[in-house]
């Protein structure tokens, strides 16, 4: 998979999801992921447009995708926000079903939209790219030291599966696997893909808080210390409503709620202020800082230092610079090319 993409920030990037944007940009630079912002992009319509008008729900994402095709040809598109990813991906999937669909959407936005670029979430891009994961590990200055993380995917990041084409729709593992790379201990819990209530927190707040309480309860019952997510609306609902839930339900939940990019970026040396963690509603700075640990250095038994396997099938001793031939059992000096009997250490 490539490491260069067109980038759709979404509306939350400069408002309620600012810390997601800050940490995503920091992380991308550290691991060599090149993101080119789509010029003159517009709101994708999440989460209400497609519920009000089907054509509007297609036209809003299609306009930004058409601009990306024009201005950033050949690049697939990445969205950090789960809801934005869902709306962009749904539109691209709809257009791919038939020429009639494609022509109709192009008519709606009054510009050509071919639907050629694929759409990915940032989580998917990192999870499916070995080069990026290797860069992630190589740039870790600290680890999460066994921090117990409940990885919360929300209800739209991996659903519907015929559209997202990503991970398991009931028990996704991509975020869990990435958290393990940074030294966290993801917990096994049942509410990974349950809905946080989305905009119900405004239109039906009591029902919305009940949904949040169930998520927090299951995370606590399964031993989580923090929650990590990949969606600005999910993070906002869990983070901002936690105090209200405690008041309503008589509970005492005390979960910092992070974006997965914040935790990874802190492990790479960023400060909480650099990432916007100090902007969270529920206190999150102290927990994040105290969770960071020095990477463990593997113990090496002196006298049994492993050799390095070369491309030619021979083994170079790690301590004396000599090369052992794999077929004659002799040691060739790296300095003078002479052979001597004996084995490499």
Render each residue's pLDDT in the chain as its tens digit; 345 residues: 689 999 999 999 989 999 999 999 999 999 999 999 999 999 999 877 777 889 999 999 999 999 999 999 999 999 999 999 999 999 999 999 999 999 999 999 999 999 999 999 999 999 999 999 999 999 999 999 999 999 999 999 999 989 998 999 999 999 999 999 999 999 999 999 999 998 888 889 999 999 999 999 999 999 999 999 999 999 999 999 999 999 999 999 999 999 999 999 999 999 999 999 999 999 999 999 999 999 875 555 555 444 444 344 444 444 444 444 444 444 444 444 444 443 433
- pLDDT the model gives residue 316: 43
Please say whether the beta carbons of 271 and 144 come within 8 A: no
User: Which phi and psi angles does 217 have, rounded to 5°?
Assistant: -60, -45
Q: Give the CA count within 13 Å in the CB-facing half-sphere of 256.
A: 24
Looking only at the bridges linking them, the beta strands covering 4-8 and 308-309 are unpaired
Looking only at the bridges linking them, the beta strands covering 77-79 and 119-121 are parallel
CATH code assigned to 130-291: 3.40.50.11810
* Residue 345 CA, distance from chain mean position: 43
Q: 118 vs 209, 220, 296, 318, CA distance in Å?
A: 35, 37, 39, 46
Strand order in the sheet with 34-37: 34-37, 4-8, 77-79, 119-121
Name the residue ranges covered by the structural domains of the chain. Answer: 4-123, 130-291, 300-345
Give per-residue pLDDT as tens, 121-133.
999 999 999 999 9
Give per-residue pLDDT as tens, 238-265.
999 999 999 999 999 999 999 999 999 9
- pLDDT the model gives residue 301: 52
3-state secondary structure (DSSP) of residue 74 = coil
Please say whether the beta carbons of 166 and 89 come within 8 A: no
Please say whether the beta carbons of 62 and 70 come within 8 A: no
Which residue, among 264, 320, 270, has the nearest Cα to 147 in the 3D structure?
264
Domain 4-123 is in which class? mainly alpha
Q: Please count the residues of the chain.
A: 345
- pLDDT the model gives residue 125: 97
Looking only at the bridges linking them, the beta strands covering 226-229 and 148-152 are parallel
Which residue, among 187, 41, 7, has the nearest Cα to 109 in the 3D structure?
41
- pLDDT the model gives residue 299: 56
Which residue, among 234, 227, 206, 204, has the nearest Cα to 81 in the 3D structure?
234
pTM of the model: 0.84
């Amino acid at each position: 998979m490539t490491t260069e993409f067109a980038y759709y920030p979404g509306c939350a990037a400069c408002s309620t999801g600012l810390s997601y944007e800050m940490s995503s940009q920091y992380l991308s630079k550290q691991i060599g992921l090149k993101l080119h912002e789509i010029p003159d992009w517009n709101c994708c319509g999440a989460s209400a447009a497609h519920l009000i008008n089907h054509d509007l729900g297609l036209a809003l994402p299609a306009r930004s995708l058409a601009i990306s095709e024009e201005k950033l040809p050949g690049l697939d598109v990445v969205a950090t926000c789960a809801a934005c990813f869902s709306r962009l991906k749904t539109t691209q999937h709809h257009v791919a079903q038939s020429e009639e669909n494609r022509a109709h959407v192009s008519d709606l936005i009054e510009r050509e939209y071919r639907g050629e670029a694929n759409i990915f979430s940032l989580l998917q891009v990192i999870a499916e790219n070995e080069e990026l994961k290797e860069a992630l590990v190589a740039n870790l200055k600290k680890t999460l030291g066994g921090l117990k993380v409940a990885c919360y995917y929300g209800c739209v990041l991996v659903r519907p599966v015929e559209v997202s084409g990503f991970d398991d729709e009931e028990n996704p593992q991509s975020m869990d696997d990435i958290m393990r790379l940074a030294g966290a201990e993801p917990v096994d819990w049942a509410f990974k893909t349950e809905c946080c209530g989305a905009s119900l927190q405004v239109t039906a707040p009591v029902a919305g808080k009940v949904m949040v309480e169930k998520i927090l309860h299951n995370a606590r019952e399964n031993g989580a210390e923090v929650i990590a997510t990949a969606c600005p609306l999910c993070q906002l609902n869990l983070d901002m409503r936690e105090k209200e839930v405690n008041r309503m339900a008589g509970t005492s939940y005390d979960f910092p709620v992070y974006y997965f990019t914040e935790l990874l970026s802190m492990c790479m040396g960023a400060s909480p202020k650099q990432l916007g963690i100090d902007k969270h509603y529920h206190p999150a700075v102290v927990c994040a800082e105290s969770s960071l640990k020095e990477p463990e250095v593997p113990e090496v038994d002196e006298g049994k230092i492993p050799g390095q396997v070369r491309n030619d099938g021979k083994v170079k001793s790690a301590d004396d610079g000599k090369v052992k031939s794999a077929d004659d059992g002799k040691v060739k000096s790296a300095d003078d090319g002479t052979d001597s009997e004996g084995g490499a250490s």
